[in-house]
Amino acid sequence: MKKIQMVDLKGQYTQIKKEVNDSIQEVLETTTFVNGPKVHEFQKNLENYLGVKHVIPCANGTDALQIAMMGLGLKPGDEVITADFTFAATVEVIALLNLTPVLVDVNPDDFNIDIEAVKRAITPKTKAIVPVHLFGQCANMDAIMEIAKQNNLFVIEDNAQAIGAKYTNSKGEKHMSGTIGHVASTSFFPSKNLGCYGDGGAIFTNDDDLAHTLRGIVNHGMYKRYHHDVVGVNSRLDSIQAAVLDAKLPHLDTYNNKRKEAAAKYDKAFKDNQHIIIPKRSGDHVFHQYTLKIIDADRDALVQHLNDKGIPCGVYYPIPLHKQKAYMDSRYNEADFKVTNQLVKEVISLPMHTELEDDQIEFITKTVIEFIDN
């Protein structure tokens, strides 16, 4: 059996080595390292794949969120509602822009933002909602868009973990995740479902005016060379990263299917164990993470045991954001975070990537079950 890894980037690269190397070589030959033709090519290909009017590439997923919020013209003091159970980047940029983060609880089964909690958190100062499509499946976008419409709010989808997932709305129509809200952000960090070989990110929108604003903000607020109309940032995607992404994009659906297949094998092994809750599917799930809940058993001891057996695993996330020093706020009430406070004790994410082999999955599931049943 090959050594088990949380994410196997080397194994994946080996399979597409020629495509990636050729694509990078093109950039080297043209020496257009920033905003070269490769960036534009990738942008167009991603717009086609997603069925969205505008993709604005940028330097990373955190910048993408920040720039989206800048582009919407949010002002200091505006309240932005997001999930308490996510990666810190989401709340970080809200705070960085002097907006007021309002963290709310999540669902106990699919870990996505709790719609009733969103409704309760709305005040006259609320300007936006940031649903995070956690671990690879979409938040309840029908409900979120309806709340946004009623309260005149922007919706910014944090799509860093769910690129390629399809959302089916109440009318039965399918949309790619990240194309439903007013604007969305994604990350091309190497371990994400579509990852480059460094940092990268992008913003998506169907709004022509917003897209124009965003294209300026990513490049020092310039719409005409050396004319700075708005305060911007320097957040561009390198051409070499675009070359990697352009070579990998045609494989994204295959990659997501491989993740789904691995998840189905995990499910089958775990589904009858009373101490293990397998991930709920609220819709299409592209498994950025495969995350179990461990009930009435020692999750931390399981983590230790797996590590001892050479099986990497992760606890995403070990501390709710409202308990992080940087984001504590006296307005929060512990009773409003029942779910996240519980999830941090129960969740465990198992190795999940495109190169998992059957003997590895068998070894992982056997090791988990043996420990839980003992």
Ligand X SMILES: *Cc1c(COP(=O)(O)O)cnc(C)c1O
* Interface positions with ligand X (CB under 6 A): 60-62, 86-87, 89-90, 132, 158, 160-161, 187, 189, 199, 201
Nearer to ligand X, 24 or 132 (CB): 132
For ligand X, which is the closer residue by CB, 26 or 84?
84
Catalytic residue, from 38, 149, 166, 192: name it: 192
Structure tokens given for 366: 């056997």
Question: Which one, 301 or 319, has the nearer CB to ligand X?
Answer: 319
For the question of residue 44 being annotated catalytic, the response is: no
CA angle 139, 162, 39 (to 5 degrees): 135
The Cα 43–Cα 202 span in angstroms is 9
Nearest distance from residue 37's CB to ligand X, in Å? 23
- Residue 30 CA, chain-centre distance (Å), reads 32
**CB 29 to ligand X: min, Å:** 28
Q: Least distance (Å) from ligand X to the CB of residue 161?
A: 5
Given a contact cutoff of 8 angstroms between Cβ atoms, the answer to whether 104 and 82 are in contact is: yes
Q: Give 329's DSSP letter.
A: -
Helices (H), the chain: 9-15, 17-30, 37-50, 61-71, 89-96, 115-121, 141-151, 208-217, 239-248, 252-270, 299-308, 338-346, 358-373
Angle at 167 between CA 184 and CA 337, to 5 degrees: 70
Q: How many CA atoms lie within 13 A of 6 on its CB side?
A: 15
C-alpha closest to that of 137 among 164, 118, 106: 164
| Nearest to ligand X of 26, 284 (CB atom) | 284
- Least separation in angstroms between residue 30's CB and ligand X is 26
The C-alpha angle with vertex 96 and arms to 92 and 100, in degrees rounded to 5, equals 80
Contact present, 160 and 192 (Cβ < 8 Å)? yes
CB 176 to ligand X: min, Å:
17
Instruction: Name the residue nearer to ligand X (CB basis): 57 or 368.
Output: 57
Residues annotated as catalytic (active site), given as ranges: 192
